[in-house]
Amino acid sequence: MNYKYYNPRKAALDTARELLTGALNAAVADGSLPEAPLPEFIVEIPADVKNGDIASNAAMAGARAFHKAPRQ
């Protein structure tokens, strides 16, 4: 790792994206979600700190692809 160009914000967002992608793939593998291509989703740091450290629209983006309500 080249620490001269290390960006902790980008590293955190990349890690969150990897974890979400892994969780979606695991849910498809165990049958919790139907077999479908993973949708493109956004991982970002919210503008308001009351909304947490990292936010994603993975549930909303996947609702149509997986034919499920976002809260399921």
What is the pLDDT at residue 40? 92
The stretch 2-30 carries a mean pLDDT of 91
Which of 46, 47, 70, 54 has its CA nearest to residue 18?
54
* Residue 45, number of CB atoms within 10 A of its CB: 14
Q: Provide the whole-model pTM.
A: 0.82
CB 65 within 8 A of CB 37: yes
What is the pLDDT at residue 3? 73
- For residue 31, give every residue at least 6 positions away whose Cβ sits within 8 Å of its Cβ, in sequence order, or none: none
**Domain range summary for the chain, segments of one domain joined by +:** 7-66
Q: State the pLDDT confidence band at 2, using cuts at 50, 70 and 90.
A: low
Tens of pLDDT, residue by residue over 17-72, are 999 999 999 999 999 999 999 889 999 999 998 989 999 999 999 998 888 888 87
